Amino acid sequence: MAFGVIKNVRKVFQLDEIGWTALEPVVALDDATFEFEEGELVALLGPSGCGKTTLLRIVGGLIAKSAGSVAIAGREVTKPMGDYGFVFQAPSLMPWRNVLDNVLFPMEILRKNDAAARRHAHELLELVGLSGFLSARPHQLSGGMQQRVALCRALVHRPRLLLMDEPFGALDELTRMEMNDLLLRIRHETKAISEAVYLSDKVVIFSKRPARVVKEMAIPLAYPRSQKVRFTPAFTAAERIASEALGVVAPTADEAPAHAAQGAGRQ
The residues of the shown chain that bind other proteins, judged by CB under 8 A, are: 57, 60-62, 79-82, 84, 86, 88, 90, 92, 94-96, 105-106, 108-110, 137, 139, 153, 157
Among residues 108 and 123, whose Cβ is nearest to other proteins? 108
| CB 110, min distance to other proteins, A | 6
Within 10 angstroms of residue 57's Cβ, the number of other Cβ atoms is 18
Among residues 189 and 239, whose Cβ is nearest to other proteins? 189
Among residues 139 and 259, whose Cβ is nearest to other proteins? 139
| CB 157, min distance to other proteins, A | 7
Among residues 53 and 194, whose Cβ is nearest to other proteins? 53
Question: What does the longest C-alpha to C-alpha distance in the chain come to?
Answer: 59
| CB 95, min distance to other proteins, A | 4
Among residues 169 and 247, whose Cβ is nearest to other proteins? 169
217 vs 83: CA distance, rounded Å: 27
| CB 61, min distance to other proteins, A | 7
| Residue 67, beta-bridge partner list | 10
202 vs 4: CA distance, rounded Å: 13
13, 209 Cβ separation under 8 angstroms:
no
45 vs 266: CA distance, rounded Å: 11
End-to-end CA distance of the chain: 37
| CB 9, min distance to other proteins, A | 18
